[in-house]
Chain A
Amino acid sequence: MATLENLDKKELIDPGPDRILGTGHDYETVTDRIAGIVYLPWKRSPKKWLVGAFISFLFVNLLMLAMWVLFAKGIGVWGVNIPIGWGFAIVNFVWWIGIGHAGTLISAILFLLKQDWRTSINRFSEAMTLFAVACAGMFPVLHLGRPWLAYWLFPYPNSMWLWPQPRSPLEWDVFAVSTYGTISLVFWYCGLIPDFASMRDNAPHLWQRKIYGVFALGWRNSAIHWHRYQKAYLLLAGLATPLVLSVHTVVSFDFAISILPGWHTTIFPPYFVAGAIYSGFAMVLTLIIPLRAWYNMRDLITLRHIDAAAKLMLGTGLIVAYGYAMEAFFSWYGGDKYESFMYWNRMTGPYGFSYVLLILCNIALPQALWSRRVRHNIGLVWVISIIVNCGMWLERFVIVVTSLHRDFLPSSWGMYIPTKWDWATFTGTLGFFMFLIFLFVRLLPSISIFEVREVVHHDRYMERAYEEKL
């Protein structure tokens, strides 16, 4: 077994924008490279990992504190009030759910489209999906006011003889988000089973072999098992694809089905889905760029992945730009007084700064990605991905807050100023998300080992075919 120490000394070179995998890999080296990160003794964790995990753990504690204050004192600790009853809680909910969507897109849609570059990043983005959904799911529950009664959202026989209202998009949301969380977990675990088996068989310590062995469920790489496994995985991908589109569509219905100017638009479902994938790709890039540097994975996550993700980010960003343009156009062309006032107010009103920042972050700056030189400058791609994350968060803020703060009646106009507990909850979930990501890269193989073996096999096959042609 080649140890990670030996590999560290080797110069690991990014093979450039044409290859998914660095040269010189075989079935064994990819296993050792990917699983080696998990086997690395805790003491030898990169310093940056320790610092990052520690800081994010502090924010997890901040989240706990914010929740405790919220439960003890009630929703009043947040800045929400009439007319803005949906503040940070819903902004963050929509933002987090959106981030999750790129994970499903990479693992399911790109799988169906046979985009083989997804292989090295699908496991990681599925984990990202799962953790983002966990963060998203917290917000509506915290926002309930009486979160201990959250189970009332589910239809179950009860002594009050009451049932939830299934004609309401808020109830659709309950089903959509809980299904999305469950299916993401199933998909992720399904992909992990063969890798758990690999780790059961080559982990250095017996206790590690035992733990991974339990999760491997006795997987023994039988050809017939693989056959059923591939079918099940394909079907899961086929089911997850419409699911991911439906989830953000349902989230957008929360807004679109109301009669509020700024929310009541038919363009919301496609434009929300595009925005979700946009922000998700931005988050994937924000996370994998440091990860590949810290763990020396430049030969596994290559410029090919970063280039493709950046292009997809640019593409979905343009769909989002089209959405903004159509929203503005129809608020003028539709001739509705309230609608056109809403849009004018969104651009020039008290929250006008957020709209300007939104256009800057989401539309203007990402256009730099048209340039090949920018896409191949990894540091710059990383900065742009963070800008897009901020931009997409601002988009949710603009939609939720500017539409609510100017009601039909000037007497019920108001302002929303997030309190410190709003910020604490939001940054707390960011810390929670990052902490889970830090643990994930440490405890589980963050790249699908068996799928990379398939890439190795494919590369060898192509090389042989090429040689035969010569």
Chain B
Amino acid sequence: MSHEVELDELPAIHGAMAEFDTPEELVEACERAYSAGFRRMDAYAPMPVTGLAEAIGYKKNKVALCVLIGGIFGACGGFGLLEWITVVAYPHNVGGRPLNSWPAYIPITFECMVLIAGLTSLFCMLAMNGLPQPYHPVFNVEEFERASIDKFFICIESSDPKFNIAATTEFLRDLGGKEVTLVPA
């Protein structure tokens, strides 16, 4: 299935892609590609695969930090709003009871915390993933639609300094990739 193509025939290349049948093969291929010095690459699987992101060198997942900040912001915002309503905006003397009756604000504070933290987790995850994204070169590969069904892919991107069309496709074939294709950008 090798495509011996001349560089100047192609307009632009996003990278080289190889297909695998099982998640274990893909993780192994990713680990070998990483130890061969490739850094700009991505792996695609129809389900979360343990250790796959780590195999291509992904370390810092900042979603949790964002959600923590969102939660703190939500809780402070909710509590602050109630304080402001009852003490500043609309102070209401009910039988001499204190205006700042903070224990009564806890349920709403909690709900605001959950609301903002929950929304942050979805939108942060999407934003960090760069979604929504209407176009991505990997979809140019016809077989790639199986990445959301039953096949596992690795794509070494052309922006990697070690990327070389001939050598990289050869390397992917060595890894045991079934279909090695170039991804048009």
Residues of B within 8 A of A201 (CB): 145-149
Whether B49 is near chain A, meaning CB under 8 Å from some CB there, is yes
Known interface pairs A182-B119, A230-B48; A223-B43 also in contact (CB < 8 Å): yes
Determine which of B43, B46, B67, B105 lies in contact with A166 in the assembled complex, contact meaning CB atoms within 8 Å: B105
Asked if A242 contacts B114 (CB within 8 A), the reply is yes
Whether B104 is near chain A, meaning CB under 8 Å from some CB there, is yes
B81 to chain A, nearest CB (A): 6
Please tell me the size bucket of the interface on B.
35 or more
Asked if B114 contacts A224 (CB within 8 A), the reply is no
Tell me if B's interface is mostly helix, strand, loop or mixed: helix
Asked if B119 contacts A186 (CB within 8 A), the reply is yes
Whether B15 is near chain A, meaning CB under 8 Å from some CB there, is no
Asked if B138 contacts A220 (CB within 8 A), the reply is yes
Residues of B within 8 A of A164 (CB): 85
Interface readout for A73-116 with B: 1 if CB under 8 Å, 0 if not? Answer: 00000000000000000000000000000000000000000000
Asked if A175 contacts B47 (CB within 8 A), the reply is no
Count chain A residues whose beta carbon lies closer than 8 angstroms to a beta carbon of B: 59
Stretch in A47-55, A155-163, A332-340, A425-433 touching the partner: A155-163
- Measured CB to CB, the nearest residue on chain B to A247 is B111
Asked if A223 contacts B64 (CB within 8 A), the reply is no
- Measured CB to CB, the nearest residue on chain A to B145 is A201
Whether B63 is near chain A, meaning CB under 8 Å from some CB there, is yes
Residues of B within 8 A of A26 (CB): 150
For the complex, give the distance between the alpha carbons of A164 and B90 in Å.
9
For the complex, give the distance between the alpha carbons of A171 and B18 in Å.
57
Whether B166 is near chain A, meaning CB under 8 Å from some CB there, is no
Whether A361 is near chain B, meaning CB under 8 Å from some CB there, is no
Residues of A within 8 A of B45 (CB): 221, 223, 226
Whether B16 is near chain A, meaning CB under 8 Å from some CB there, is no
Residues of B within 8 A of A326 (CB): none
Residues of A within 8 A of B36 (CB): none
Known interface pairs A220-B136, A231-B61; A31-B150 also in contact (CB < 8 Å): yes
- Measured CB to CB, the nearest residue on chain B to A1 is B149
Interface readout for B43-76 with A: 1 if CB under 8 Å, 0 if not? Answer: 1111111001101101001011001000100000
Known interface pairs A220-B138, A223-B44; A232-B149 also in contact (CB < 8 Å): no
Stretch in B3-11, B127-135, B169-177 touching the partner: B127-135
Stretch in A57-65, A123-131, A450-458 touching the partner: A450-458
Whether A194 is near chain B, meaning CB under 8 Å from some CB there, is yes
Asked if A217 contacts B133 (CB within 8 A), the reply is yes
Whether B12 is near chain A, meaning CB under 8 Å from some CB there, is no
Task: List residues 144-182 of chain A with CB under 8 A from any CB of chain B.
Answer: 155, 161-164, 166-167, 169, 171-172, 175-176, 179, 182
Asked if A183 contacts B115 (CB within 8 A), the reply is yes
For the complex, give the distance between the alpha carbons of A28 and B105 in Å.
51
A188 to chain B, nearest CB (A): 11
For the complex, give the distance between the alpha carbons of A451 and B131 in Å.
21
- Measured CB to CB, the nearest residue on chain B to A198 is B148
Residues of A within 8 A of B145 (CB): 201-202
Task: List residues 211-264 of chain A with CB under 8 A from any CB of chain B.
Answer: 217-232, 235-236, 239-240, 242-243, 246, 250, 253
Asked if A183 contacts B118 (CB within 8 A), the reply is yes
Asked if B23 contacts A457 (CB within 8 A), the reply is yes
Determine which of B53, B114, B125, B131 lies in contact with A183 in the assembled complex, contact meaning CB atoms within 8 Å: B114
B21 to chain A, nearest CB (A): 10
Whether A138 is near chain B, meaning CB under 8 Å from some CB there, is no
Whether B180 is near chain A, meaning CB under 8 Å from some CB there, is no
Residues of A within 8 A of B105 (CB): 166-167
- Measured CB to CB, the nearest residue on chain B to A190 is B122
A51 to chain B, nearest CB (A): 33
B150 to chain A, nearest CB (A): 4
Asked if B122 contacts A236 (CB within 8 A), the reply is yes
Tell me if A's interface is mostly helix, strand, loop or mixed: helix
Whether A438 is near chain B, meaning CB under 8 Å from some CB there, is no
Known interface pairs A202-B149, A228-B128; A171-B118 also in contact (CB < 8 Å): no
For the complex, give the distance between the alpha carbons of A153 and B104 in Å.
17
Whether A27 is near chain B, meaning CB under 8 Å from some CB there, is yes
Residues of B within 8 A of A155 (CB): 81, 85
Whether B117 is near chain A, meaning CB under 8 Å from some CB there, is yes
Determine which of A182, A220, A246 lies in contact with B147 in the assembled complex, contact meaning CB atoms within 8 Å: A220
Residues of A within 8 A of B52 (CB): 223, 226-227
Asked if B63 contacts A224 (CB within 8 A), the reply is no
Asked if A218 contacts B131 (CB within 8 A), the reply is yes
Residues of A within 8 A of B121 (CB): 186, 190, 232, 235-236, 239
Residues of B within 8 A of A202 (CB): 145, 148-149
- Measured CB to CB, the nearest residue on chain B to A451 is B47
Whether B108 is near chain A, meaning CB under 8 Å from some CB there, is yes
For the complex, give the distance between the alpha carbons of A223 and B43 in Å.
5
- Measured CB to CB, the nearest residue on chain A to B21 is A27
Asked if A189 contacts B122 (CB within 8 A), the reply is yes
For the complex, give the distance between the alpha carbons of A163 and B90 in Å.
7
Asked if A182 contacts B115 (CB within 8 A), the reply is yes
Whether A200 is near chain B, meaning CB under 8 Å from some CB there, is yes
Whether A197 is near chain B, meaning CB under 8 Å from some CB there, is yes
Residues of B within 8 A of A175 (CB): 78, 107-108, 111-112
Residues of A within 8 A of B58 (CB): 223-224, 227
Asked if A167 contacts B104 (CB within 8 A), the reply is yes
Asked if A228 contacts B112 (CB within 8 A), the reply is no
Residues of A within 8 A of B64 (CB): 231, 235
Q: Which 7 A-B pairs have the closest CB atoms?
A: A27-B150, A232-B125, A218-B133, A217-B132, A201-B145, A227-B53, A167-B104
Task: Write 25 A-B pairs (CB below 8 A) sorted by A numbering.
Answer: A27-B47, A161-B89, A161-B90, A166-B82, A166-B105, A175-B107, A175-B112, A176-B107, A182-B119, A183-B114, A202-B145, A220-B44, A220-B139, A222-B42, A223-B52, A231-B125, A232-B121, A239-B71, A239-B114, A240-B114, A242-B114, A243-B118, A451-B47, A454-B47, A454-B48
